[in-house]
Amino acid sequence: MIIRWTDEAFAELSAMLDYLEQNAPEVARGLAARVQLAQQHILTLPRAATFDPQTNTYDRYIPKTRVILTYAINDDFIEIIRVWHTSRDPETR
């Protein structure tokens, strides 16, 4: 199985990393490393996350961050749909 990113999710992560790179480069590198590790965990245990039956998606919290990856499991791949920072307004999620 492989992981695919939607354009929107990739853009959200890129924007977070760009902002952090300008203000706290070490934090940006740490977040990037944690996202990579989260991807490996998702591939290993894709259903070990919070499941939302209404949208048929999973939320994986990235440890030691305030970031959530939302993804869907398909037959041949896992698709990262959204990257969410918990400081944002939940109504816009």
Determine the average pLDDT of the residues in 49-73.
95
Give helix 7-23 / helix 25-44 axis angle, nearest 10°.
Answer: 150
Contacts of 92 (CB under 8 A, 6+ apart): none
pLDDT of residue 18: 95
**Count of beta carbons in the 10 Å neighbourhood of residue 14:** 11
Q: Identify the structural domains of the chain with CATH numbers, from first to last.
A: 2-86 (3.30.2310.20)
- Match 């070490």 to its residue by tokens: 26
Q: Say what the pLDDT of residue 86 is.
A: 81
Q: For residue 93, what pLDDT is reported?
A: 52
Instruction: Look at residues 61, 91, 15 and name the one whose alpha carbon lies nearest to residue 71.
Output: 61
